[in-house]
Amino acid sequence: MKRNLFFSGMFVLLTFVILSCAGTNVQNNNVLVIQEQGIFAVGGTVIQNPGTFDNYKFEGWVPSGEGQSYHGDHATVSYQIPANARELPLIFLHGYGQSSRSWGTTPDGRDGFNNIFLRRGFGVYLIDQPRRGQAGRGTVEATIPPIADEQTWFDIWRMGTWPDFAQNVQFPKDEESLNQFFRQMTPNIGPIDGAIVINSVSALFDRIDGGILVTHSAGGSPGWAAGIKNSNVKAIVAYEPGGFPFPEDAVPEPIPGLTGTLSPEVVSVEDFNKLMQIPIVMYFGDYIPDEPSANLGAENWRTRLTMARRFAEVARSRGGDVTLVELPKIGIYGNTHFLFAELNNVQLADLLSEWLKEKGLDK
Amino acid sequence: MKRNLFFSGMFVLLTFVILSCAGTNVQNNNVLVIQEQGIFAVGGTVIQNPGTFDNYKFEGWVPSGEGQSYHGDHATVSYQIPANARELPLIFLHGYGQSSRSWGTTPDGRDGFNNIFLRRGFGVYLIDQPRRGQAGRGTVEATIPPIADEQTWFDIWRMGTWPDFAQNVQFPKDEESLNQFFRQMTPNIGPIDGAIVINSVSALFDRIDGGILVTHSAGGSPGWAAGIKNSNVKAIVAYEPGGFPFPEDAVPEPIPGLTGTLSPEVVSVEDFNKLMQIPIVMYFGDYIPDEPSANLGAENWRTRLTMARRFAEVARSRGGDVTLVELPKIGIYGNTHFLFAELNNVQLADLLSEWLKEKGLDK
């Protein structure tokens, strides 16, 4: 009897050790247990030049290209799958001027959403969209001047009014964090071409089957389109998307603002209805007024949040499962446009985890 | 007595389970146990434009830059530290037209050196050098035409003579592997500036203290220079380096060849002696003849291997610990310029592991 009790105790302990290291869905906080990781290209096209390639003629390190090929316009995707992963992975698509690095860390060097959701048992795929980051080979000539623009982005992204941070901002205010943040920007290598981005995201979903698409900012619009195009997109999580689709029979007025006029993105009723088949959540941070403002960042996001509200309304009227979370309205203050990488990013991740659970997306 | 035996057995089993998941130095083959991972920028400069930035004037998404700043010329570094890591991590510096993606996988999607050496207990740091990949913000204007050049590289990198693969080549010959390989190329975003690359690599070694620098191809020359500049570089592993340093009192003749004349890189005797303080190993693959050839790839690497032999000779005469491994001479055939990512890359990794052990660098 005593021995059986002892045996049971050891068995429970052993089971606990095995589970806590090989990973139940929720992993040990101290280590990441990765079943598989790697990096690959997806999508893209091939330029095949006319002429005949001469194997024995050295034309210098930048050859004429005669008879040669050029693979470009693909996305580059790095991925990690934890042990005992949940069914649906998270696929992250960055915003303007960014790359997959946006999700890999925070400006102050803590766990980004990549690590946080790996720890929570999700496979993660990080995209460098075509003509960005490691997916640098575009099929159109690019000219990239080093134009100093960081103060503009600081303002537009609502960190504050340069050089002052916004009051109670969640963006880390130390100098090195700002240095890291500015250095995570990386240029467009050629024009941004929505169709090419959408095709590469869709090709990724073809490759991995089902997944949850998480977009940020300018990743929002191609994200909606990928959700329409590919039924393997099982849900969309959009952090401050920059644009919104509307069915052609319910297109709202464009919204003028200081940073330009925001137009709705018109799609067919059929396409819009495809998007209505999947759960959607959008998150917006702080410092976004309801009324026009002289502040560029406030203005830029006032127009977009206003359009987000209209999108949510139209979507719900068509049976869509669309949640719009305005963080200050649920008592979460101080978030800028990079809300998922700020001081309270674990709280933001918790919100997302709750939503995924509610929608049955975390099995 | 019986119970003690039982207790011991359970204890041994429990210990085994804990060790095999939390990681001794050599990890379980099935999962990677990661203590820490992330991504950061290192090195670089800041352009500060004259004038006054006007917070309230929207100049469009590409502003004039007046009064604004631009952080550029940094390297971007992603890293992973396994549980119970060995003392010295491996720092990987890619070659021409490449990024950190070179080390992250193989063209046929197996474990790259990144994963292999993580499994063997080494911390790994993968560099995107300044003006490449995710470190795209350079301080000089870049023009990037999509010049079709893939057949040139296929030949120059000794995969074969396009469209034929070399006999018995270790490069995977299926179509998708070649597609992935071509798509791992990514352009220079502005001119390659050796000093900037060297500074960023050195800044990385300042940040992480000691490490082993692993270079490939065009990463070779800035690698030697970083080894001279920073005593935190504890060893250098160079896969087919493109250039070689010589002390000013023992400079060999340049070596002419079909793809240009290869000149020695002259450094002071004092600097050369610094490099002689650390163990160095170089690996060269197959298809490199001793005599001049009409084949561009053969020629390009004939000149460089010849210079590598001279470097090894001079280094040894100055007390350097320099090993030059010509793979065919030890019975390993079929490797191209991307030897570390080919079908036999585990064998190549074994060679490196043996060398690291021999030099006491794997503690």
CA angle at residue B190 from B188 to B194, to 5 degrees? 80
Q: Is A115 on the interface with B (CB under 8 A)?
A: yes
Q: Name the residue type at position A327.
A: L
Are A101 and B134 a contacting pair at CB < 8 A?
yes
How confident is residue B21, by pLDDT bands cut at 50, 70 and 90? Answer: very low
Rounded mean pLDDT, B84-108? 97
Is residue A28 pLDDT above 80, yes or no?
A: no
The Cα A202–Cα A216 span in angstroms is 17
For residue A70, being part of any structural domain is answered with no
The Cα A179–Cα A168 span in angstroms is 20
Residues of A in contact with B48 (CB under 8 A): 148
Question: How far A273 CA lies from chain B's nearest CA (Å)?
Answer: 33
Q: Name the residue type at position A15.
A: T
Q: Which chain B residue has the Cα nearest residue A114?
A: B38
Q: What is the pLDDT of residues B320-335, one digit of tens each?
A: 999 999 999 999 999 9
The sign of the CA dihedral A354, A92, A102, B59 is negative
The answer to whether residues B154 and B200 belong to one domain is yes
The sign of the CA dihedral B199, B204, B210, B212 is negative
Q: What is the pLDDT of residues A226-246, one digit of tens each?
A: 999 999 999 999 999 999 999
For residue A25, being part of any structural domain is answered with no
CA angle at residue A101 from A98 to A104, to 5 degrees? 140
Is residue A307 pLDDT above 50, yes or no?
A: yes
For residue B60, being part of any structural domain is answered with yes
Tokens (6 digits) for B73: 């010329």
How confident is residue A309, by pLDDT bands cut at 50, 70 and 90? Answer: very high
Distances (CA, A) of A42 to A76, A227, B234: 6, 17, 38
How confident is residue B14, by pLDDT bands cut at 50, 70 and 90? Answer: very low
Interface of A with B in 36-75 (CB under 8 A): 37-41, 44, 47-49, 53, 55-56, 58-59, 61-65, 67-72, 74
Which is nearest to B55 in space by CA: B40, B43, B67? B67
Q: What is the pLDDT of residues B43-83, one digit of tens each?
A: 999 999 999 999 999 998 889 999 999 999 999 999 999 99
The sign of the CA dihedral B95, B101, B103, B108 is negative
B240: left (phi over 0), alpha (psi -120 to 50) or beta: left
First to last CA, chain B: 40
Are B14 and A18 a contacting pair at CB < 8 A?
no
For residue A269, being part of any structural domain is answered with yes
How confident is residue A255, by pLDDT bands cut at 50, 70 and 90? Answer: very high
Q: Is B5 on the interface with A (CB under 8 A)?
A: no
Residue A30's pLDDT is 87
The sign of the CA dihedral B209, B212, B217, B222 is positive
The Cα A154–Cα A136 span in angstroms is 25
For residue B301, being part of any structural domain is answered with yes
For residue A11, being part of any structural domain is answered with no
- Name which of B151, B155, B159 to mutate to probe chain A: the one with the most chain A Cβ atoms within 10 A of its Cβ: B151
C-alpha gyration radius of chain A = 23
DSSP H stretches of helix in chain B = 2-22, 101-104, 113-119, 150-156, 175-183, 194-208, 220-229, 269-275, 296-317, 345-358
The answer to whether residues B319 and B209 belong to one domain is yes
The Cα B205–Cα B226 span in angstroms is 9
Is residue B10 pLDDT above 60, yes or no?
A: no
Residues of A in contact with B44 (CB under 8 A): 183
Are A105 and B38 a contacting pair at CB < 8 A?
yes
Q: What percent of chain A has pLDDT over 90?
A: 90
How confident is residue B26, by pLDDT bands cut at 50, 70 and 90? Answer: low
The sign of the CA dihedral A311, A314, A318, A321 is positive
Q: Is A83 on the interface with B (CB under 8 A)?
A: yes
The answer to whether residues B13 and B108 belong to one domain is no
Q: Which chain A residue has the Cα nearest residue B180?
A: A41
The answer to whether residues B18 and B131 belong to one domain is no
Confirm if B275 and B320 have CB atoms less than 8 A apart.
yes
The answer to whether residues B39 and B15 belong to one domain is no
How many alpha carbons fall within 13 Å on the CB side of residue B110?
Answer: 12
Q: Which chain B residue has the Cα nearest residue A29?
A: B35
Rounded mean pLDDT, A300-314? 98
Are B143 and A139 a contacting pair at CB < 8 A?
no
The answer to whether residues B18 and B135 belong to one domain is no
Return the CATH number at B238: 3.40.50.1820
Is residue B337 pLDDT above 90, yes or no?
A: yes
Distances (CA, A) of A109 to B15, B112, B202: 34, 26, 20
The answer to whether residues B96 and B1 belong to one domain is no
Indicate the SS3 state at residue B82.
strand
Is residue A12 pLDDT above 50, yes or no?
A: no
Rounded mean pLDDT, B139-156? 96
Residue A27's pLDDT is 57
Between residues A159 and A17, the one the model is more confident about = A159
Rounded mean pLDDT, A288-298? 96
Residues of B in contact with A128 (CB under 8 A): 134
The answer to whether residues B25 and B108 belong to one domain is no
Q: Is the peptide bond preceding residue A247 cis, with omega within 30 degrees of 0?
A: no
What is the reported pTM?
Answer: 0.93
Q: In terms of C-beta distances under 8 Å and separation of at least 24 residues, what long-range contacts does B261-266 make, across chains too?
A: B261/B303, B262/B303, B262/B304, B262/B307, B264/B307, B264/B310, B265/B221, B265/B224
- Host domain of residue B350: 34-358
For residue B72, being part of any structural domain is answered with yes
Q: Name the residue type at position B121.
A: G
Q: What percent of chain B has pLDDT over 90?
A: 90
Residue B27's pLDDT is 57
Residue B30's pLDDT is 87
Q: What is the pLDDT of residues A100-159, one digit of tens each?
A: 999 999 999 999 999 999 999 999 999 999 999 999 999 999 999 999 999 999 999 999
The Cα A77–Cα A98 span in angstroms is 14
* Strands B211-216 and B32-48, sheet pairing: unpaired
Confirm if B194 and B223 have CB atoms less than 8 A apart.
no
Interface of A with B in 127-146 (CB under 8 A): 128, 132-146
The Cα A219–Cα A113 span in angstroms is 16
Is residue B25 pLDDT above 60, yes or no?
A: no
Are A187 and B189 a contacting pair at CB < 8 A?
yes
E strand or H helix at B188? none
Average pLDDT, chain A: 93
**Beta-carbon contacts of residue B93 (< 8 Å; ≥ 6 apart):** B127, B129, B201, B213, B214, B215, B216, B219, B222, B223
Question: How far A152 CA lies from chain B's nearest CA (Å)?
Answer: 7
Angle of the B220-229 helix axis to the B194-208 helix axis, nearest 10? 50
The answer to whether residues B103 and B1 belong to one domain is no
Residues of A in contact with B6 (CB under 8 A): 3, 7
Residues of B in contact with A74 (CB under 8 A): 183
Distances (CA, A) of B351 to A352, B91, B95, B315: 46, 17, 21, 22
The answer to whether residues B12 and B106 belong to one domain is no
Rounded mean pLDDT, B9-21? 43
Is residue B3 pLDDT above 90, yes or no?
A: no
Rounded mean pLDDT, B126-152? 97
Tokens (6 digits) for B223: 């690698």
Residue B29's pLDDT is 60
The Cα A339–Cα A348 span in angstroms is 8
The answer to whether residues B314 and B339 belong to one domain is yes
Tokens (6 digits) for B262: 């290869």
Which is nearest to A229 in space by CA: A194, A251, A201? A201
Q: What is the pLDDT of residues A322-353, one digit of tens each?
A: 999 999 999 999 999 999 999 999 999 999 99
Is residue A15 pLDDT above 50, yes or no?
A: no
Please tell me the total count of domains within chain A: 1
Is residue B8 pLDDT above 60, yes or no?
A: no
For residue B363, being part of any structural domain is answered with no
Are B189 and A21 a contacting pair at CB < 8 A?
no
Residues of A in contact with B18 (CB under 8 A): 17, 21
> What's CA A350's distance to the chain center, in Å?
17
Q: How many residues are there in chain B? A: 363
Q: What is the pLDDT of residues B280-293, one digit of tens each?
A: 999 999 999 999 99
Confirm if B285 and B344 have CB atoms less than 8 A apart.
no
Count CB neighbours of A112 within 10 A.
25
